[in-house]
Amino acid sequence: MGAQSAGPLVVGVDSSTQATKALVVDAATGTVVARGRAPHTVSDGDGKESDPRQWWRALDQALRQCGAAARQASALSVGGQQHGLVTLDAAGEPVRPALLWNDVRPAPQSERLIAELGGPESWARRIGSVPTPAFTVAKWAWLRAAEPAAAAATAAVRLPHDYLTQRLTGQSVTDRGDASGTGWWASSTESYDARVLDHVGLSPEALPRVALPGEAAGTVRTDELPVPRGALVAVGTGDNMAAALGLGLRPGAPVLSLGTSGTVYAVSPRRPADPTGTVAGFADARGDWLPLACTLNCTLAVDRVAALLGRDREAVEAGGTAVLLPFLDGERTPNLPRASGLVHGLRYDTTAGQLLQAAYDGAVFALLQALDRVLDEGTAPDAPLLLIGGGARGRAWRETVRRLSGRPVVVPQARELVALGAAAQAAGLLLGEDPAAVARRWGTARGPVYEARERDAAVWDRLAATLADGDALLRR
């Protein structure tokens, strides 16, 4: 990133599934002057839940690790994990732990909502997305059915980043990007959808106001955190929208993110509406759109396969006929919430390294299969693929993406792109600039370029055939 200067300092926060990360960044140059990180606890039972109050404690710890730099910040912004259901009582306290995006218990409610409100095409046309179990609307419907007392005690519903922003500012506010992942914010009208809310028994008064892009959420009104009272607070956004800001994305640039989940997305000037449900028609944080496909099983699933095989995650071997679909935790793309992993094509001469490579292939295939639906028509077939997330640093992940995509791959050197995107949003608010332009000035997308390889058609076709033939088994 750019050379150090004496510009004002801003804080970017990434409140993810596993941890809260905070960066203090020079608004003029993008130089990271301090960083902090504190872990979260996620339940490992039937569902995936976290106490929202621990996010606040983790934010405090991460900021304290930033030292004096955090206490000099002029503005801050929070990027947070999408879809999570935070239920608050009349006093603003959590009614129960938050249901996280990767909790698949609402699968029956998701299916019923789609059927009861006109089917997939109707949802895509009105809302912009067909709600999978990840979507907040399905989680609220599950809560009403499974825990009616908790639903009745709920006076306010928030997304994870909204909860932190509200505790910072005292204001009930969200942004269009994160709101577009709820299932009750309609991309067709850019407002809450009364029909959906009425159907799931939720009052619009229980939801935060949706701010305009570039609008402030307020100012810091708490002394609980080591940041200046009165510092500007940007409205924040969802983690994928923040990462897009952090890269300074322009339309037509595809992104593949390899983390706990895997995602493919691109900024588009056209409102997406995919009736198959493969692509979520999200809004971005600026006023454009962010069509996105997400898989539940990515780096953690492949690491689990490596552990079962007793191999280092990089110890892959080419060749063989094995196919492995690593749907260890259900799956979102394809929409198979009850699926488990599937191995096919084992032979006596299959090696552990080949089986591990097959796990990489299966995870990457699920993402690349959705890429064509994400990209606008006319996007160049050889447009470089920006590879981000923890997996982007691994050679096996990078080479698998090159071999199955047929595209050049760029690995940005900048890390913590969600926190950087939140910092760019805070800097844009402070300086009166487009946050994506701020990130481009910081040079966040620069990194080594790996030339395109010819797509491995044999592996691609084998994966496609196994997925099609195993559909009935995967849906059990």
The torsion angle over the Cα atoms of residues 435, 437, 441 and 443, rounded to 10 degrees, is 80
CA distance 387 to 397: 10
Check 26, 175, 239, 329 and give the catalytic one: 239
Query: Which residue carries 């706990």 as its tokens?
Result: 260
Size of the chain in residues: 476
Answer for the pair 420, 444: CB distance below 8 angstroms, yes or no: yes
The DSSP letter of residue 287 is S
Alpha helices for 105-159 (secondary structure H)? 107-116, 120-126, 136-146, 148-152
Q: What tokens were used for 99?
A: 């249901």
Q: Which of 233, 238, 400, 412 is nearest to 324 (CA)?
A: 400
Q: Which of 285, 296, 294, 289 is nearest to 78 (CA)?
A: 285
Cα dist from 282 to 102, 134, 386, whole Å: 17, 14, 19
239 is catalytic: yes
Cα dist from 166 to 67, 92, 145, 213, whole Å: 23, 10, 28, 17
For the four alpha carbons of 445, 449, 454 and 460, in that order, the dihedral sign comes to negative
Q: What tokens were used for 144?
A: 């009403």
Within 8 A by CB and 6+ apart from 378, the residues are none
Q: Which of 25, 8, 80 is nearest to 439 (CA)?
A: 25
Q: Which residues are catalytic?
A: 239
